[in-house]
Amino acid sequence: MISDKFSVLITGAGQIAAGYDAPDSDAVLTHAHAIISHPQFDLVGFHDIDIERAKQASLKWGGGCFSTLQKADVIVICTPDDVHLESIKQAVALEPRFIILEKPVARQYKDVLEIQNLAKDIPVQVNFTRRFVPTFQELAASKDSLGAFLTGAGLYGKGFIHNGSHMIDLLRLIVGEIESLEVFYELYDFYSDDPTKTLVLRFIDGEFYMRGVDCKHYTIFELDLCFEKARIQILDGGRCVKIYNPVDSQIYDGYVVLNLHSEKITEIDHALLNLYQNVYDHLTCGSQLLSPIDGAVVKGL
């Protein structure tokens, strides 16, 4: 068992790295907050091509600010999606013990393959946030008790790759692997090279209709999943999960209706802290990663 702290360097000092919360916030919404909250990690500081942004992050969270990437046990990549490949190249050259990569892995599938090859000797965890929420892990573990997947629908915005990848990953966790897809409509609501797609995803047992909503009006992330033995609603970005069970109607003889079985507020506001605990357990005990890079990509999506 290793007792010494692991040093951590963040590259890309934007919102998910340092901006969404503060050291005294109840929720843990940034990598910086998760690192300083975990007793076995030590924040070295921030690297950013905009040195002023790195400086502001270091003033807020501690550690240094750097114009070049620094060596550390763990390197966290929070740079924009389209430079993830270059960020991985720089990180791998420093031979860290571990890399944490913000989703998506990359915008282009060819870049994904190159990233996987470059990091083949270094463990990489991809931050698909909901993978680190116990409620969703419990749903995944109980999927056999839900019966066959019948159908479902979801609402999202801000790019199929950038934000839609979260929904794809959650579906793979709870429902299973995707067999095929068909795109009906594309909406360019945020990125010029990453449209928000409306499409149908086909699984072995059913279809899921993924609908794009223009993020200029509001942010939304919701799923409604119908299985043989349950209906699951995932609301408010994943903060609320409602589970309904089929029961005999008390009013109409012979009818089966849905009854609210449970409603839970999830631990999503502390998912990043769970991510770092999973990384620590992997480094010290060899525990299985919850979101390894090899399982974070689906060809053709």
Q: What percent of the chain has pLDDT over 70?
A: 97
Alpha-carbon distance of 256 to 277, in angstroms, equals 43
Nearest alpha-carbon partner for 9 in 87, 71, 83? 71
Say if CB 280 and CB 1 are below 8 A apart: no
Whether pLDDT at 300 is above 60: no
Matching residue, tokens 């070049």: 68
Predicted pLDDT of residue 301: 57
Say if CB 124 and CB 293 are below 8 A apart: yes
**What's the rounded mean pLDDT across residues 205-223?**
97
Go through 125-164 and write b for each residue having 16 or more CB atoms within 10 A of its CB, e for each that does not.
bbbbbbbbbebbbebeeeeeebeebeebebbbbbbbbbbb
Predicted pLDDT of residue 1: 42
Go through 47-80 and write b for each residue having 16 or more CB atoms within 10 A of its CB, e for each that does not.
bbeeeebbbbbbebbbbebbeebbebbbbbbbbe
Predicted pLDDT of residue 108: 86
- pLDDT per residue as tens digits for the range 56-104: 999 999 999 999 999 999 999 999 999 999 999 999 999 999 999 999 9
Say if CB 248 and CB 237 are below 8 A apart: no
Helical packing angle, 84-93 and 109-118, nearest 10°: 10
Give every CB contact of residue 217 below 8 A, 6+ residues apart in sequence. Answer: none
Alpha-carbon distance of 240 to 242, in angstroms, equals 7
Confidence of residue 296 (pLDDT cuts 50, 70, 90): confident
Say if CB 185 and CB 209 are below 8 A apart: no
Whole-angstrom CA distances from 93 to 75, 88, 99, 181 are: 11, 8, 12, 37
Say if CB 300 and CB 168 are below 8 A apart: no
User: Letter for the amino acid at 273?
Assistant: L
Answering whether pTM is above 0.85, one says yes
Residue 286 token pair: 């060899």
- pLDDT per residue as tens digits for the range 102-134: 999 988 889 999 999 999 999 999 999 999 999
Alpha-carbon distance of 298 to 165, in angstroms, equals 10
Whether pLDDT at 196 is above 80: yes
Sign of torsion over alpha carbons 68, 74, 78, 81: positive
**What's the rounded mean pLDDT across residues 40-48?**
97
Alpha-carbon distance of 136 to 142, in angstroms, equals 10
In the chain the domains, ranked by start, together with CATH numbers, are 6-129+270-295 (3.40.50.720), 134-266 (3.30.360.10)
Alpha-carbon distance of 7 to 47, in angstroms, equals 14
Judged on CB neighbours under 10 Å (0-12, 13-18, 19+), 26 is: exposed
User: Max CA-CA distance within the chain?
Assistant: 71
DSSP state of 97: S
Whether pLDDT at 290 is above 50: yes
**What's the rounded mean pLDDT across residues 131-151?**
96
Predicted pLDDT of residue 107: 85
